[in-house]
Structure 1
Amino acid sequence: MPERIFHIATAADWRTTLATGTYTTSTVGRSLAEEGFIHASRRDQVQGVFDRYYRGLGEDLVLLTIDPARLESEVRVDPVGSDTYPHVYGPINRTAVVDVVPLNRRGGTETLMSLWIKGMAVRMGLAVLAMVLVAAIVLGIQRWS
C-alpha cells in the first residue's frame, strides 16, 4: 500500500470536514453512501484524475494528502481498468489528513504565498480601476461646472 494517498476535494467539502471531523465525499457529486467508498489515488495519478473529473468544475479545489496509517477506515487498492487505485471504505477522519494544498485551474498545487500574491494583485487592480473611475467622474463634473 502506498505510504500516502491523495484525494481531490472541493474547498467547500473540506470546510465541512473541518466542522464535522469526517470527510464523506466519494468524488464529484457522489457521496460515500452512494459510491460505497471514497476514491483516492497515488501521487502520480492525481493529474489524470483532475483532468478527467475536475477540470472546468469552476469550484475552488484542494488536494488532500492522507496517511493510511492514521485512517480509521479500511483502505484497499482495487483494480480499475489496467491500473490500480486506492479506495477508502468508510469516512476519512480529519486526523488522517496530513496536508491540504490548494489546486490551481490546471490541477497544479498552489502555495499559500502564491494565492496571497494573486489575491493582492486582483485587489490592487480593482483599487486602481476605482481610482481611475473616480478621477474621470470628478474631471467630468468639473468640466460641466
Structure 2
Amino acid sequence: MPERIFHIATAADWRRALDTGSYTTSTIGRSLEEEGFIHASRREQVQGVFDRYYRGAGEHLVLLTIDPARLTAAEVRVEPVGDDTYPHVYGPIDRGAVVDVTPLDRRGRPETLMSVWVKGMALRMGLALLAMAALAALLWALGLTR
C-alpha cells in the first residue's frame, strides 16, 4: 500500500470536514454512503483523475494528502479499476489523517502561495483600474476635467 494517498475535493466539502471532523465525500457529487468508499489515487494518478472527472467542476478544488496510518475508522484497499489499481478508502477520512491540503488551479496543478498572491494582486489591480476609470468618467460628466 502506498505511504501517502491523494483525493481531489471541493474546497466546500473540505471546509465541511473541518467542521465535522471527518471527510465523507466519495467523489464530486457522491457521498461515502452512496458509493461505499472514497475514491483516492497514487500521486502519479492525480492529474489523470483531475482531467477525467474534475476539469469542468466549476468549484475551487483542493488536493488532500492522506496518511493511511492515521485513519482510525477506515480501511484502505488497493483495487483494480480498468487496467490499473487505485486506493479506495472504506470509511470516513479523519481530519487528522489529512497531512496536507493544496489548492489546485483550473488545470489541476498545485497552486503555490506565490501564484495565489499574484492572482489576488491582479484582481485588486483590475478593480483599482476600474474604479479610477469610473471616477474619471464621473468627473468628465460633471465637467470637472478639461
TM-score (norm 1): 0.96
The equivalent of 1:118 in structure 2 is: 119
Q: CA deviation at 1:121?
A: 1.1
The equivalent of 1:26 in structure 2 is: 26
Aligned length: 144
SS at match of 1:142: coil
Once the two structures are superposed, the pairs formed by residues 89-128 of structure 1 within 5 Å of their partners are: 89-128=90-129
- How far apart in 2 are the matches of 1:76 and 1:87? 5
- How far apart in 1 are the matches of 2:8 and 2:117? 21
The equivalent of 1:134 in structure 2 is: 135
Once the two structures are superposed, the pairs formed by residues 37-76 of structure 1 within 5 Å of their partners are: 37-72=37-72, 73-76=74-77
Q: CA deviation at 1:113?
A: 2.8
Q: CA deviation at 1:112?
A: 2.4
Q: CA deviation at 1:116?
A: 2.0
Q: CA deviation at 1:62?
A: 0.1
- How far apart in 1 are the matches of 2:39 and 2:57? 17
Amino acid in structure 1 at the alignment position of 2:123: V
- How far apart in 1 are the matches of 2:53 and 2:34? 17
The equivalent of 1:85 in structure 2 is: 86
SS at match of 2:138: helix
Q: Please tell me whether residue 35 in structure 1 is matched to residue 41 in structure 2.
A: no
Q: CA RMSD in A?
A: 1.2
Amino acid in structure 2 at the alignment position of 1:12: A
Structure 1 runs (4+) greater than 6 angstroms displaced: none
Q: CA deviation at 1:141?
A: 1.2
Q: CA deviation at 1:51?
A: 0.5
Q: What percent identity do the matched residue pairs reach?
A: 77
- How far apart in 1 are the matches of 2:43 and 2:131? 43
Cα deviation 1:26-74 (Å, max 9, x = unaligned): 0011000000000000000000000000001100000000001111110
TM-score (norm 2): 0.95
- How far apart in 2 are the matches of 1:33 and 1:102? 26
SS at match of 1:99: strand
